Amino acid sequence: MGKKKFYIETHGCQMNFSDSEIASSVMIKNNFEITDNPRHADVILINTCSVRDNAEQRARNRLKNLTPLKKKKKDLIIGIIGCMAERIKEQLFEEEKKIDLIAGPDAYRNLPRLIETAAKKSKAINVKLSREETYDDITPFKIENKGISAFISIMRGCENFCSYCVVPFTRGKERSRNPETIIKEAKNLFSKGYREIILLGQNVNSYKWNSGFGFVNLLESVAGISPLLRVRFTTSHPKDLSDELLYVISKNENICMHIHLPMQSGSTRILNLMNRKYSREWYMNRIEAIKKIIPGCSVTTDIISGFCTETEEDHKSTLSLIEEAGFDYAYMFKYSERPDTPASTKYKDDVPEEVKLKRLQEVISLQRKLSHKSNINDLNKTFEVLIEGESKKNKNNFYGRNSQNKVIIFSKQKNYRIGDYINIKVTGCTSATLIGEVE
Each residue of 189-243: pLDDT tens digit? 999 999 999 999 999 999 999 878 999 999 999 999 999 999 999 999 999 999 9
DSSP 177: P
pLDDT confidence of residue 149: 94
Q: Does 146 have pLDDT greater than 80?
A: no
Are 51 and 341 a contacting pair, CB within 8 Å?
no
For residue 145, what pLDDT is reported?
A: 62
pLDDT band at 429 (very low <50, low <70, confident <90, very high): very high
Note the pTM of the prediction, 2 decimals: 0.93
Spatial contact of 223 and 255, defined as CB atoms under 8 Å apart: yes
Q: What is the pLDDT confidence band of residue 23, given thresholds at 50, 70 and 90?
A: very high
Architecture of the 382-438 domain = Beta Barrel (2.40)
> What's the pLDDT at 397?
96
Helix (H, G, I), strand (E, B) or coil at 325: helix
Other Cβ atoms less than 10 A from the Cβ of 91: the count is: 10
146-256: CATH class:
alpha beta
Q: Contact, 353 vs 396, CB < 8 A?
A: no
Residues facing 47 on adjacent strands: 10, 81
Shortest CA distance to 255 belongs to which of 225, 284, 285?
Answer: 225
Give the DSSP letter string of 48-110.
E--SSHHHHHHHHHHHHHTHHHHHH-TT-EEEEEEHHHHHHTTHHHHH-TT--EEE-TT-GGG
Is it the case that residue 8 has pLDDT exceeding 60?
yes
CB 30 within 8 A of CB 3: no
Residue 235: is the preceding peptide bond cis (ω within 30°)? yes
pLDDT at 243: 98
Residue 241 C-beta-side C-alpha neighbours within 13 Å? 26
d(CA 123, CA 118): 6
pLDDT over threshold 80, residue 354 = yes
Determine how β-strand 382-390 pairs with β-strand 329-334.
Answer: unpaired
What 3-state DSSP class applies to 213?
Answer: strand
Could you tell me the fold of the domain covering 4-126? Rossmann fold (3.40.50)
What is the structure's pLDDT at 349? 97
- Residue 1 pLDDT grade (very low, low, confident, very high; cuts 50, 70, 90): low
Residue 181 has pLDDT above 90, yes or no: yes
Q: Between 3.30.750.200, 1.10.150.120, 3.40.109.10, 1.20.1260.10, what CATH number should domain 261-374 receive?
A: 3.30.750.200
Reported confidence tier of residue 328, pLDDT bands at 50, 70, 90: very high
Question: Which helix (H) or strand (E) segment is 293 a member of?
Answer: helix 280-293
CA distances from 385 to 336, 368, 407 (A): 37, 23, 9
Distance, CA of 290 to CA of 386 (rounded, Å): 23
Cα–Cα distances (Å) from 432 to 328, 376, 409, in that order, read 9, 11, 11
Q: How far is CA 324 from CA 285, 317, 318, 391, 392, in A?
A: 12, 10, 10, 34, 35
Residue 153 CB neighbour total at 10 angstroms = 24
Per-domain residue ranges of the chain? 4-126, 146-256, 261-374, 382-438
- Cβ(347)–Cβ(164) below 8 Å: no
Mean pLDDT calculated for residue range 291-299: 98
Closest by Cα among 401, 410, 407 to 433: 407
What is the per-residue DSSP string for 361-425?
HHHHHHHHHHHHHHHHTTTT-EEEEEEEEE-SS-TTEEEEE-TT--EEEEE--TT--TT-EEEEE
Q: How many CB atoms lie within 10 A of CB 317?
A: 20
The reply to whether 4-126 and 146-256 are identical in fold is no
